[in-house]
Chains A and B, each alone.
Chain A
Amino acid sequence: MKRVHALIILVLILSILSIPFVLATTTPEGPQTLTVVNSSRRTPAPSSSLQATAGNVTHLNIAANTVTQSWQGFVGNITGTITLDDSRNNTLYDWQAADPEGEIYATYLQTVDWSLGNVQCWNWTHTVASYLQLVELETNPAAGDGAPNVYGGIGALADDPDGVNETFTAPGLGMHASFYVGSQLINGSLGPSCPITRLYNSTGQGTFQEVILYHDGTGASNDGVIYTAIINQSVIGYDTQRWDFEMIVGENGHEGDVTPITYYFYVELQ
């Protein structure tokens, strides 16, 4: 009788193993809702006045704050559901995640292929013509040669203090948390790490990690960067309120450019 059982079980094992578990991992996808709670920018300081007297030469030291023309900031909270759904989004079971872990992705690319190998750290030292270079993202040149015309260039000069490499560490030189994009490991150790910056808490400490990934598509219009915020769980943010994420994305506001860039947001929860 045991032999019969063993035979049946063997057949069963083969049957189960042959089931194609196509999604051993999840992939980033668009959020269910994305609500803008508010939008604000710096209130300009009033002008300072000086009495001018003919014949005098006055030496001045001036300190000023100016709003960046290269970056847009997002802060916020995330709630989520980790679910077991079929292709019609019918839910067999789900788990509510009040403070989920994971990543938020923002990119100007309209489509992203998240499959293994397509999204990795942006290595701006990778000098291949078809690969997006640092100067291309910073200075916003014309389309072509790895720089599509909607590629999100920030319109800065190479020596601007708020350029890309002045904001993010060079690839491999800064450590960040390791994470997965779908089934792709993003290694945060020195060497293979991505360009990273840390956005501030209320005392100016960098507690919100953001890295830049790169989607290596099949054509210039599919190549580009993906700003990636690693989700915290209700951490004191730049304004003393608790946030799950803080992130910045490139936006060209130079030379009177008021045309907004469209960003597409994706979320991957764990």
Chain B
Amino acid sequence: MKQVLINGLWILMLILLGGIIVAQSDPSAPTAIQNVSTMTTTPSPGAVMNSTGGSILTLDINATTQNYRWKGFVGNVTGELALLDSALNRLVTWNVQTITGELYATRNSTLITWSAVQCANNSVIAAEQEALNITTTDVDSINTTFSGTTHRGFYIGITQIAANTCRATALNVNNTQQSNYFQEILLSDRGNLIYTSLLENATYGFNNQTYDFQMIVAENALQGSQPSTPYYFYIELI
């Protein structure tokens, strides 16, 4: 009877410990990222104009140019919740049917200090723009792109980010601007900018196909051939 009681206490401690670990779960690197496709726009042919010498033509031109200072990621997430030990042995796992959580991307190569994550302030944004040679007054600077603060509230581990408190934008749905889905927020940990995409669950995205996330991240703004900027991805499923 005494042995049964001791065993019961051990099981109870394990359950409690497991609960604590889950409650303090920080975002982690995804176990795999598959590049399904890389797409960009097809340049349009030149517009034709017949002209005769000696005259002056007044033209109104409207043009669309692909933005090389940003790159986009869209896709789907599959995952599971698990109780793991330090050797990644699984005590129990749950398949995630409905995707909820956040996808994070940062240029910082070291592990993010998740306990220090907060809304990115102006100095963090300015430093990121300087690092990527972005002029803050440009129409497509990070500062201008993330000029709004419309976003849902969420948690990073145990840190709460209240709704509508951080710099944010929302990516298109069916080629149309909107603010309800695919919200992207700027966070930081001790000075490093972190792009945060709130996960959707198989929601129609920019091209009317369903995605779990859409995200844009800034690229080096220098003209000419430049090496691509690597980003480090983390994900938190809840």
Chain A residues in the interface with B (C-beta under 8 A): 1-2, 4-6, 8-9, 11-13, 15-42, 67-97, 100, 102, 104-107, 112, 114, 116, 154, 180, 183-185, 249, 251-253, 258, 260-270
Contacts and interface: CB of A to CB of B under 8 A. Distances in A.
A79 B172 CA distance: 21
A185 B190 CA distance: 37
Given A32-B64, A180-B224, A70 B47 contact: no
Interface of B: 28-33, 35, 38-68, 70-72, 74, 86, 88, 109, 111, 139-140, 144-145, 169, 171-172, 175, 205-208, 214, 216, 219, 223-228, 230-233
15 contacts: A11-B32, A12-B30, A15-B32, A19-B35, A34-B59, A77-B59, A82-B66, A84-B71, A90-B206, A90-B207, A91-B172, A93-B70, A93-B216, A185-B224, A269-B65
Contacts, number: 296
A74 B48 CA distance: 14
B35 A75 contact: no
Contacts of B57: 36, 38-39, 72-76
B172 A86 contact: no
A37 to B, nearest CB: 4
A78 B63 contact: yes
A91 B207 CA distance: 7
B72 A93 contact: yes
Contacts of A263: 48-51
B68 A24 contact: yes
Nearest to A105: B46
B71 A21 contact: yes
A28 B223 CA distance: 13
Contacts of B169: 93
Given A33-B62, A74-B59, A25 B52 contact: no
B40 A267 contact: no
Nearest to B61: A78
Contacts of A67: 54
A39 B55 contact: yes
Nearest to B184: A93
A87 B40 CA distance: 5
Contacts of B175: 90-91
Contacts of A69: 53-54
A5 B29 contact: yes
Contact of A2 (B71, B111, B225): B111
Contacts of B225: 24-25, 116, 183
A41 B55 contact: yes
Contacts of A17: 228, 230
A34 B47 contact: yes
Given A86-B207, A258-B52, A23 B46 contact: no
Contacts of A83: 41, 64-67
Given A75-B59, A88-B207, A185-B224, A22 B40 contact: yes
B226 to A, nearest CB: 5
Interface centre among B30, B61, B172 (most CB of A within 10 A): B61
B47 A265 contact: yes
B61 A84 contact: no
Contacts of B172: 91-94
A208 to B, nearest CB: 13
Contacts of A77: 59-61
B58 A39 contact: yes
Interface centre among B55, B86, B172 (most CB of A within 10 A): B55
Contact of A37 (B43, B53, B59, B145): B59
A233 B132 CA distance: 25
Nearest to A68: B54
A72 B51 contact: yes
B65 A76 contact: no
A125 B54 CA distance: 28
A9 B56 CA distance: 60
A49 B46 CA distance: 49
